[in-house]
């Protein structure tokens, strides 16, 4: 595990973007695993800058997002499809037909999950999986549980997750209660994992996830078993790390 802590958000964003862009420069057919939420916004901004400067093309790349809410229209401003278009897809040349996000409006969600896993398998291995971290240690929407699920599945969002994500909606009642999420097995199968965490409110969970016992109560603790894990932290999130 390689943990890097940054004093400046700009440097953190640049470093995150360099890892993604560098991968696609050396492997134009790279398969990217992408995340949403507040954490990667600045990284995507920097990726878009690099693309606009002609440093990289995503024409041959493929992407799979980690998750999507159940029951929000794809066009809803807070759907993860809208988020990805707004922050990344509308500004780069990644072909829309290879920018996969699970469909949280599918009539049969179990079938949609199975289809998503088949698509990931058909694309080969995810080369780089980008992750944020939930306050409760979730990755994707794999919430703390007695057992974690390997593949894409429907999940009931934890109360803490609903609270954290209420900031994107008018109130907590508008936050969808369920989501589709890639499973921990798929996440851990990625060749490389890039975990990014910001903010003092995540310092404790960062410490538990990266140095505490490996337990399904803190799904991110399973990342300790991954051979190619890079962690980018801002100073606040890294406060408790030695």
Which residues contribute to the site for ligand F6R (CB under 6 A)? 35-39, 66-67, 132-134, 138-141
Q: How far is the CB of 53 from ligand F6R (least distance, A)?
A: 26
C-beta of 35 vs 47, nearer to ligand F6R: 35
C-beta of 39 vs 46, nearer to ligand F6R: 39
143 is catalytic: yes
68 is catalytic: no
Contacts by residues 20-28 (CB-CB < 8 Å, ≥ 24 positions apart): 20/47, 20/128, 20/130, 20/194, 21/47, 21/50, 21/55, 21/56, 23/127, 23/128, 23/192, 24/56, 24/57, 24/58, 24/61, 25/55, 25/56, 27/127, 28/57, 28/59, 28/60, 28/61
Which entry of 14, 50, 67, 234 is annotated as an active-site residue?
Answer: 67
Which entry of 50, 87, 117, 138 is annotated as an active-site residue?
Answer: 138
156 is catalytic: no
C-beta of 60 vs 235, nearer to ligand F6R: 235
117 is catalytic: no
Q: In whole angstroms, give the CA distance from residue 10 to residue 24.
A: 21
Q: In whole angstroms, give the CA distance from residue 102 to residue 160.
A: 22
Which entry of 136, 160, 174, 204 is annotated as an active-site residue?
Answer: 136
Q: How far is the CB of 37 from ligand F6R (least distance, A)?
A: 3
List the catalytic residues. Answer: 67, 136, 138, 143
């Amino acid at each position: 595990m390689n943990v890097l802590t940054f004093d400046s958000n700009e440097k953190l964003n640049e470093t995150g973007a360099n890892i993604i862009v560098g991968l696609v420069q050396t492997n134009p057919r790279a398969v990217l695993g992408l995340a949403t939420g507040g954490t990667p916004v600045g990284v995507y901004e920097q990726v878009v800058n690099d693309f606009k400067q002609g440093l990289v093309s995503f024409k041959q790349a493929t992407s799979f997002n980690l998750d999507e809410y159940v029951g929000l229209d794809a066009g809803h401003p807070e759907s993860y499809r809208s988020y990805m278009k707004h922050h990344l897809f509308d500004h780069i040349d990644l072909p829309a037909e290879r920018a996969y996000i699970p469909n949280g409006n599918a009539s049969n969600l179990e079938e949609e999950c199975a289809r998503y896993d088949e698509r990931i398998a058909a694309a080969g291995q995810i080369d780089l999986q980008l992750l944020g971290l939930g306050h409760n240690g979730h990755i994707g929407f794999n919430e703390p549980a007695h057992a974690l699920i390997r593949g894409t599945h429907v999940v009931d969002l934890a109360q803490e997750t609903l609270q954290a994500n209420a900031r994107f909606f008018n109130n907590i009642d508008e936050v969808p209660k369920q989501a589709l999420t890639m499973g921990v097995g798929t996440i851990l199968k990625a060749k490389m994992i890039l975990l990014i965490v910001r903010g003092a409110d995540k310092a404790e969970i960062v410490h538990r996830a990266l140095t505490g016992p490996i337990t399904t109560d803190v799904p991110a603790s399973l990342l300790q078993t991954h051979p190619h894990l890079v962690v980018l932290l801002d100073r606040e999130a890294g406060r408790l790390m030695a």
